[in-house]
Amino acid sequence: MKKDKFIIQGLGNNNFLSGKIRVNGAKNAVLPVMASSVLFKDGFGVKNVPFIEDLNRLDEILKGLGIEMKKEKEGEYFINTKGINGVEIDEEASKRMRASVIFTGPILARFGELVFPHPGGCVIGARPIDLFLDGFEKMGAKIEHSDGKYSIKAKDGRLKGANIFFKIPSVTATETFIMAGILAEGKTTLKNVAIEPEIISLIEWLNSCGAKIKGVGTPVLEIEGGVLLEAGDKIYETIADRLETGSFLILGALCASDLEIYNCNPAHLEIITEMLKDSGVDMQVGKDFIKVNNKNLKNYKAFNIKTHEYPGFPTDLQSPMTVFLTQAQGESLIFETIFEGRLNYTSDLVKMGADIKMWDAHRVTVKGPNQLKGRELEGPDIRTGFAFVIASLVAEKESVITNVYYIDRGYGSIEKRLSGIGADIKRVEN
């Protein structure tokens, strides 16, 4: 694993960023769509693919299954499923990317068997896979666990349609069982599903290729199991990354004299735009762009955050927004309800000069504003890695961010894109 660093010169309220920044395709949309290739009898093209580290992990998993991911040009790939034969998810890739678990549904549904290790990924909490294992058992599969690997076999070689109620509306579990249901025998009903835009986009893609999924956008989905999907000449166009959009918006609200964030879909992050507007951030929200500046920076008002499944406040933007709140007037309560390890980074913000008190693993209060000071930081996950980039730019003096691998997992060529709007950020390769 690469151990690159970023060296960032803080703006310290003396200089500001300006210009335009393009939002890439959504990582969390492209991963399940590429995994859906296991359900296809032919191949298909994918456009607006972000160039991120997770794409390399995805390629490793697809290769292990006999599927080829061919780059046609920048941002465009063709997924060739002609050689598909594997039933095992690549161990190394799986340990580095939790989303590898999405492959379990399509592989088990297509081949009736599956081998995979317990997935790893960002250090944000325990991240169990009980919802997956329970669901497969409901679909008639038998699970064995030894030497750190799960070995799962469908009864008589084919999953059976089932009624599955998710105790938690998990994003990847919803995606996994939608895909499992497509090749299962009979009807699968999924209740209390997640409704993130990436899931809606996946369902629309699958339905356009022959899947029969009803209830899109509601908490209950019905899937009629059937035959392999066929793309014909259809191409999947990756939706804009709402988490990247939100990250840039928070950056702009703190550090930009004027910033245009384009190629995005602001309709997917209304909770963020509403909260920032109420706090006093000057912005103009268009259909596919947001213009933002920090002219009211000195008067931003504090507010509380409670993370929630979509369309509530996304846990992924909790850490960037906490950085924002260190610069707002008053006290904020941050209540992280989804992951129990996703507030640990706040101790680093305290070392930078923020006034943050942790009450328990799920709650901190932030009192602002406080001038942050540059220091050495280690990114524990994708989003907090970017939150540290924002904090470093807000701060006075230099910061060094290690473990840049995590930022690279979700934000493609970020140092180049931020340099393009005036940030002094350099990558030191290691």
Virtual torsion, Cα 118, 120, 125, 126, nearest 10 deg? 10
Closest CB to ligand EPU among residues 149, 308: 308
List 11, 17, 30, 31, residue binding ligand EPU (CB under 6 A): 31
Candidates 19, 128, 217, 312; binder of ligand EPU (CB under 6 A) is 128
122 is catalytic: yes
Q: Which residue, 375 or 417, is less far from ligand EPU as judged by CB?
A: 417
Alpha helices per DSSP H over 83-190: 91-96, 104-111, 130-138, 171-183
**279 in contact with ligand EPU (CB under 6 A):** no
Binding mask 82-121 for ligand EPU (x = CB under 6 A): ----------------xx----------------------
Side chain identity, residue 250: I
Of 79, 84, 19, 92, nearest in space to 49 by CA: 79
234 close to 44: Cβ distance less than 8 angstroms:
yes
- State which residue, 119 or 252, has the beta carbon closest to ligand EPU: 119
Burial (CB count <10 Å: 0-12, 13-18, 19+), residue 373: middle
- Of 45, 125, 215, 341, the one binding ligand EPU (CB under 6 A) is 125
Name which of 197 and 368 has its Cβ closer to ligand EPU.
197
Chain-centroid distance of CA 265 in Å reads 16
- Please report whether residue 28 would count as binding ligand EPU according to CB under 6 A: yes
Of 130-138, 254-262, 327-335, 344-352: span binding ligand EPU (CB under 6 A): 130-138
Q: Which of residues 145-184 bind ligand EPU (CB under 6 A)?
A: 168, 170-173
- Per CB under 6 A, 319 contacts ligand EPU: no
Q: Of 33, 9, 26, which Cα lies nearest the Cα of 374?
A: 9
State the pairing for strand pair 44-47/235-237.
parallel
Nearest to 121 by CA among 113, 129, 132, 133: 129
Selected from 11, 49, 382, 418, the binder of ligand EPU by CB under 6 A is 382
Size of the site for ligand EPU (CB under 6 A): 26
| Nearest CA among 3, 1, 8 for reference residue 390 | 8
Residues that bind ligand EPU (CB under 6 A): 27-28, 31, 98-99, 122, 125, 127-132, 168, 170-173, 194, 315-316, 338-339, 382-383, 410
- Residues classed as catalytic: 122
